[in-house]
Amino acid sequence: MKVALAFPTAAFFLLTGCAVGPDYKRPSVPAPPSFRGAAAASDPASLGDRKWIEVFQDPILQRLVAEALANNRDLKIAAQRILAAQGQLQSTRSALFPQIGATGGLGQQRREGSALNLANAMAGITWEIDLFGRIRRATEAATADVRSLEADQAAIQQVLVSQVATAYFQLRELDQELSILRDSLQTRQVSVRLVTARMTGGVGTSIDVDQATSLVHQADAAISNVERGIEQTENLISYLMARQPGPIERGSALGTQVQSAAVPAGIPSSLLERRPDLRSAEQRLVSSNARIGVAKAAFFPAITLTASGGYQSVSLLNIVDRAGPVYGFGGTVDLPIFDFGRRSGNYNRAKAESEAALQMYLKSIDNSFREVADALIGRQKAIEEREKLERLVATLRHQSRMADLRYRGGVSSYLEVLDTERQRLNFERDYSRGQYEEALSLVTLYKALGGGWQ
């Protein structure tokens, strides 16, 4: 009867006992009313709420991102870390419940011609009553560790989507540069033939030929440099997808990848739920806060109940033969008295680690607001720069055509053609890079707002 009452009584104390240590409350975060540089600060919608497949609409890019999410090594490592943390959580939480075990044995003891035969089969239950919440706080910390790693995995997905999109846009920009350079090379080769013919006819000079030939060599060298960049970028994308280095399929042209329309930034406070790095930092804070309770519970007694029962047989030379059921119950109290500051040191360390986690969480929030503001102004300026370069390139194309006509008509020297062609080529490439910067600004803003991991 006493055994039957012991464990229900313990369960009552377990359920009604208090868990020492502070309960977690999300810190008050002074969020600004709107993002600096946001065009629609009051709009509750956000680019970061959209799934990556809705933002990056190039079918080839979508396939590349999907393959990276399926095969990337970092994501697989993160998944295993989550499984390990879940195993730790299961192990920690199991201490809340009675531990049941069984033993059995056969043996014989001999002494001065006598033999004692022994046999037993026993089952036992051990239960630490979590009266002061040590195990519950440890379970709370382990649960937060799992959630933190899950958020870390989402952060890796976010970074991976951004890396693949960035590399793909860079690849399309390099393709565009290569096309510009090859067209320029063909034009310059035609110019060399023209200048050579003019020199042969006594109209031009050898200096004109040398200058025209130097333009051909410059374009040829630039082509080699861009081709190197293309192959290295293809290798990077292959690596992100866990492929062997090789060519990458192309989709839409770079200019069609850019969304020129304004994108809403949303409300700053929503970042706390959307950005996985902030969720991870908060869960680390939850975990460290719970470990204060674990350290504080060590100052209080630990109560453990035990009960056992089974069958035992003892036989001595067929003279003594005893067999039958046996049982027992009991309890222990572990009362800490003096440990030369070990528990105090652990408690102080837990509080300091929790305060450090709090500051890291607040620092992450501050950094997230800065990243969004930087991304918003970066996108705005990238669009402005691309538009200005577009107008400049149109002007330089016209100047280059006019300079060539003037030279052919004998009005100007080839030096004018050389100068205008060099400027046109440089700004054609700058315009291509401007398109890339505009596309990259969308990726940067999308990542800063917490998108890309869904």
Q: How far is CA 249 from CA 59, 175, 246, 252, in A?
A: 11, 12, 10, 10
Task: Give CA–CA dist 68/75, Å, rounded.
Answer: 9
CB hemisphere CA count around 241 (13 angstroms): 23
What is the separation, in whole angstroms, between the first and last Cα of the chain?
57
Task: Give CA–CA dist 293/7, Å, rounded.
Answer: 25
Report helix, strand or coil for 196: helix
> In this model, does residue 16 exceed pLDDT 50?
no
User: What was the pLDDT predicted at 242?
Assistant: 95
Whether this model's pTM surpasses 0.75:
yes
> In this model, does residue 295 exceed pLDDT 50?
yes
Residue 16, in any domain of the structure: no
Strand order across the beta sheet in which 114-129 lies: 99-111, 114-129, 302-316, 320-334
User: What was the pLDDT predicted at 328?
Assistant: 81
Residue 406, in any domain of the structure: yes
Residue 204, in any domain of the structure: yes
Q: How far is CA 44 from CA 16, 216, 264, 380, in A?
A: 43, 55, 8, 20
For the segment 103-150, what is each residue's pLDDT rounded down to a tens digit? Answer: 888 877 776 666 777 787 888 899 989 989 999 999 999 999 999 999
Give the pLDDT band (50/70/90) at residue 6.
Answer: very low
In terms of residue numbers, what domain contains 87? 23-97+131-299+342-448
Residue 18, in any domain of the structure: no
Residue 323, in any domain of the structure: no
For the segment 217-239, what is each residue's pLDDT rounded down to a tens digit? Answer: 988 999 999 999 999 999 999 99
For the segment 141-187, what is each residue's pLDDT rounded down to a tens digit? Answer: 999 999 999 999 999 999 999 999 999 999 999 999 999 999 888 88
Burial of 25 (0-12, 13-18, 19+ CB in 10 A): exposed
Q: How far is CA 193 from CA 181, 256, 401, in A?
A: 18, 37, 17
Task: Give CA–CA dist 448/451, Å, rounded.
Answer: 7
User: Helix, strand, coil: what percent of the chain each, to 5?
Assistant: 65, 15, 20
Residue 124, in any domain of the structure: no
More confident residue, 403 or 412: 403
Residue 8, in any domain of the structure: no
User: Which CATH number does the domain housing residue 139 bear?
Assistant: 1.20.1600.10
Residue 126, in any domain of the structure: no
Cα angle 144, 149, 152 (rounded to 5 degrees) comes to 130
Our count of domains for the chain comes to 1
Task: Give CA–CA dist 373/390, Å, rounded.
Answer: 26
